[in-house]
Chain A
Amino acid sequence: MTAGHRLQDAGYDTTLITEFDPLMDADAFLASLAGKYDALICDYLLSSHGRVGFTGAEVVSKANLRSGAPLPSVLISSHIKPGQQGAISRWRKGIPQVVAKADLDEEILPAIGYTLAELKGSYTRERRAFPTPIEVLEVVAKGEARRARVVVVGWNIHAPVWMPLDPILEETGLRPESLVGQWLEADVNCYASKAEDLYYGNIILSPDFPQTGMPA
């Protein structure tokens, strides 16, 4: 049974959106959907439909995190390239699950259920976030995927991961060149099984350590 049939059997009427206003950003796109739909299923890559000013990751995350009137949204993707993975990580907090297109038929309804549960405040162990120290080891500030190599202490004491750089800069006010050696703190879903499933909220400079990092 296809995903479309499963959605219809579950009581959803489906509408396919294939045209986007190239001048519209994700917020405006979401505003255009307001009140019309009960759920949104969005491909990561929308540019096959012409020039689009946002990715599916951004729109899904913003839809789920919209205060007051979230629109339950599921991100689907076929093959995630390394650069795209960074873009998804940037928005991962609002993406409860990334459904592979190959699994769409089986996974779409559970994914909607998973999203609805999270919007009601019921997080699985793998998605529940709590404060953890983060040690910054390296910063890549150039190129499409700006990122920092960090150790998320609460996730894996040993293995560094790549963390999106822009949220760190936006939330701490630091410059990229001053980040290496710093200790940050963020709310992270530390029981995530894979690094790409981590998300970061409330990023601050850790008050527990001098800003030059831990003493050697």
Chain B
Amino acid sequence: MSDDELGITILDVGHGNSALIHDGPLCAVVDAAPPVTLKEELERRGITRIEHLVLSHSDEDHVGGSPTLLLDDAHTVGTVWLNPDWGKDTVIWRRVLAAVKTRKRHGGLDRQQMITTESGAELRCGRAHLEVVHPDVTMVGGGDAVRPDEHGPLDSNSMSVVIRVHLDGQPVALLAADVDAAGLGHIIDSKQDLTAPVLVFPHHGGLPGNSHAPREFARSLTELVAPSLVVFSSGSRLRPRNPNSEIMAGVRSAAPTAHIACTQLSVHCHDRDLQVSDHHLADRPAYGRARGRCCAGTIAVTAVNGVLHFDPPLENHRDFVLSLVPVGSPLCRAVLPLPRQRSSTAVASAPG
């Protein structure tokens, strides 16, 4: 690990999300799922200060580990960015705020801020920039009166903070949290540029809220991002049926050559009671490693002179997935029926 490494690490936290954006010792964290994986990665990198901690929305699989992270006096936190969503008055959220208050009083947390699309200018971390794509002020300021929305019912997922990570001025990853079809509708209305080589797919590949067209949702989002790597941060124990097969079909129809990587194995792909080897994984903390349930595990993307490098190398992951074919049916390799209106007989080939 070089001292000035610039990149983003998408952690295998099981069913949940955590990503670490780092420029040498400077770092920002987007979402903090409960397991200890994030802490292990911070320790591995020797990080003693988190410049920005972004909490996308109030679901436990995104913020459940944030109190520990906030309270841990082994490091300091610059700003914790909180979603101003009006619909998040939950027990869990109140406990997150309790942790914020406690750490603020003890020192070690500089400030807390609400996050909207207006916050982006401040979200810098060395050569990394976190562009806030969603939600905008008019959306979060509408209160309950916003419901129902022209794009469908809004809930906490609809208001998820969506971050587009830039490294050295180049867009690299879209972290879509749990944004759903209604949220995506608003993003589309805003006509923002979403393109990024890496898409961390929303809601772990689960159904997008009240949308009755998950394939169309996945296709629309994937077309807007035009990724070369799509990551599903999914767990093999909680919600093991993620990613949803319709979601996967939508992604693959929109980006047939993109590499698809789940952090852990889905029951669609592999017997949940069987363990797999970890030889193909990056040498980084991964929650599924000890259980033998990693697919791609933790994925690190580093930018060196404008070129992106992936760890584990994508070809290693591809070979691992291919090795599953005799004993399972990897969803990302399955023969994909195309919609009937295009062709009643054609099938899409699996990505190379």
**Chain A residues within CB distance 8 Å of chain B:** 125, 128, 130-133, 135, 151, 153-158, 183, 185, 190-191, 206-209, 214
Contacts and interface: CB of A to CB of B under 8 A. Distances in A.
B17 to A, nearest CB: 15
Interface residues on B, range: 20 to 34
**Residue of B72, B95, B99 with most partner-chain A CB within 10 A:** B95
Interface in B191-228: none
A153 B95 contact: yes
Given A131-B106, A190-B72, A191-B39, A158 B92 contact: yes
Interface string B57-85: 00010011011100111100000000000
Interface in B24-45: 34, 36, 39, 43
B257 interface: no
Contacts of B60: 157-158
Given A154-B67, A214-B94, A128 B99 contact: no
Nearest to A155: B68
B38 to A, nearest CB: 12
B105 A207 contact: yes
A155 B66 CA distance: 10
7 contacts: A125-B39, A131-B102, A153-B67, A157-B34, A157-B63, A157-B96, A185-B102
A200 to B, nearest CB: 14
A195 to B, nearest CB: 14
Contacts of A156: 34, 64
A115 to B, nearest CB: 22
B99 A153 contact: yes
A130 B76 CA distance: 13
Contacts of A158: 34, 60, 64, 92
B99 A132 contact: yes
B51 to A, nearest CB: 20
B71 A132 contact: yes
Contacts of A206: 98, 102
Contact of B74 (A128, A183, A214): A128
Pairs of residues from A and B, 3 with the lowest C-beta to C-beta distance, nearest first: A133-B98, A208-B101, A154-B71
A96 B74 CA distance: 20
Contacts of A128: 74
A153 B64 CA distance: 9
Interface in B249-302: none
Given A130-B73, A158-B92, A190 B98 contact: no
Nearest to A152: B67
Given A155-B68, A157-B92, A214 B98 contact: yes
- A154, A155, A185, A207 — most chain B CB neighbours (10 Å): A154
Contacts of B43: 125
Contacts of B96: 157
Contact of B98 (A130, A135, A155, A191): A135
A208 B101 CA distance: 7
A133 B95 CA distance: 8
A155 B36 CA distance: 11
Nearest to B94: A214
Interface string B87-107: 000001011101101100110
Contact of B99 (A154, A191, A207, A209): A154
A80 to B, nearest CB: 24
A170 to B, nearest CB: 22
B95 A191 contact: no
B50 to A, nearest CB: 15
Nearest to B66: A157
A208 B105 contact: yes
A214 to B, nearest CB: 6
A135 B95 contact: yes
Contact of B102 (A133, A155, A214): A133
Given A133-B95, A185-B102, A206-B102, A157 B72 contact: no
Nearest to A214: B94
A158 B66 CA distance: 12
B293 to A, nearest CB: 18
Contacts of A214: 94, 98
A151 B91 CA distance: 11
Most buried by A among B60, B64, B71, B73: B71
A207 B105 CA distance: 9
B56 to A, nearest CB: 15
Given A157-B60, A190-B71, A208 B98 contact: yes
Contacts of A190: 68, 71-72
Interface in B99-120: 99, 101-102, 105-106
A158 B67 CA distance: 11
Nearest to A209: B98
A109 B72 CA distance: 30
Nearest to B101: A208
Given A135-B95, A208-B102, A209-B98, 5 more contacts: A157-B63, A157-B95, A158-B60, A208-B101, A214-B94
